[in-house]
Amino acid sequence: MKRNRENMEIIWQTPANPPERHDYIFRNGIRYVKPYYFEFISHAKNRWAGKTIVDLFADEFKGRNRDYYDSAVKSGRIQVDGKTVPVSYRVQSSQKISHFVHRHEPPVMALDVKVLHKGEDVLTVCKPASVPVHPCGQYRKNTVVGILQAEHDLAPLFPVHRLDRLVSGLLILARSASQADIFRQQIESGTVRKQYIAKVVGEFPKEEQIVNLRVNFNAREGRSTVEAEGSDEKNGNILKGKAACTKFTRICTNGEYSIVSCHPITGRTHQIRVHLQSTGHPIANDTLYLTDHVDSSSRRANAVKSNQSLKVNSNHSCNSQPEDSSEDFDIDPMCTNCPDLAPIGYDGSEEGLWLHCVRYSGPDWVYDCPYPDWASLS
């Protein structure tokens, strides 16, 4: 690692700076992003008006301490309307506030984003678990879209549908905005069929199971619950969930686990996961929705099996990626994360769910993705 020079050159990045292959560092099966300087922009809310710039950041953005914000204002890393201001400066409503930071993205598992089909208008890939589809939150380069741009020079790309970060499998990306609109219109009109597979706890029923339960997603808790039609209406309560339907068919079972084909008719947040939980057969390594009868030792065993399965999966493992623990990156003396590559709270040890998208089909097209190794119970 390079020690930061006193007058080192700082190159600020914006969303206009594309990810590049050399932006990534691979260590112990984990993909990291080299820290980079980035401008975060916000506009002053009415309730911020009159606060000093340091008080504003100390009160509203508690991820760093007051001393850091004091130094950031003095050094020009926090600016108002593009100008350096004193620590006593009082913010006015609607002003543009820039915070230039040494950005550390969360790590993801070092699995290839395998290209399945590359056409003039459409690209399909096998999305690895733990990697978000597009920039969101703290992720920008460690995304499917970012990796495809860096490693395959594929841009622009327009994701047609979304897969949760911990879900793997088929991802369809349009190569133009007009093609993306065509796909979205078909999805909204109900002419697109989706199929996932899941590895669930226990012996799933042989007969097709149809779950019609409303799904209510709690953004604060990051999880969904289900509501049956009329369950709360009898007590005068209004149902908060959105109508949701999923069809499940057992593919195989060994008594301990079952591989289940999942056909979501609607597309609610965590729909498949919470509907499987409602059947008494949650996804076997889904700690968020596992029922109480699965003890903690089983959960740990499942986590180990899941990670091993992902690492040896020949369909989309990243064994070809270089493991380079000596990669250099600049340490910023003001950064609250340096010298660690990952932000505070991310250790890179999370697993992928045993939930995998295998097929999308429309009026005149079908795209498939190979099954993962965990889908075999032999």
Whether residue 360 contacts residue 193, with contact meaning beta carbons closer than 8 Å, is answered with: yes
154: left (phi over 0), alpha (psi -120 to 50) or beta: beta
Q: Determine the Cα–Cα distance for residues 145 and 103; give it in Å rounded to an integer.
A: 19
287 CB-near residues (< 8 Å, 6+ apart): 299, 303
Read off the tokens for 35.
Answer: 């820290």
Beta bridge partners of 33: 24
Read off the tokens for 273.
Answer: 């996961």
Residue type (1 letter), 121 = D
Q: Determine the Cα–Cα distance for residues 79 and 19; give it in Å rounded to an integer.
A: 26
Helix (H, G, I), strand (E, B) or coil at 196: strand
Nearest 5°: phi and psi at 303?
-60, -45
C-alpha triplet 7, 13, 16: angle, nearest 5°: 155
Alpha helices in the chain (DSSP H): 53-60, 66-74, 144-152, 177-188, 271-278, 296-312
What's the helix, strand, coil split of the chain in %, to 5?
Answer: 20, 30, 50
Q: Write down the catalytic residue from 55, 70, 164, 373.
A: 164
Read off the tokens for 348.
Answer: 């890179």
C-alpha triplet 64, 65, 69: angle, nearest 5°: 85
Distances (CA, A) of 213 to 203, 207, 243, 301: 22, 19, 7, 31
Total Cβ atoms within 10 A of residue 369: 26
Q: Determine the Cα–Cα distance for residues 275 and 286; give it in Å rounded to an integer.
A: 13
**164 has catalytic annotation:** yes
Whether residue 13 contacts residue 351, with contact meaning beta carbons closer than 8 Å, is answered with: no
Q: Determine the Cα–Cα distance for residues 27 and 353; give it in Å rounded to an integer.
A: 22
Residues classed as catalytic: 164
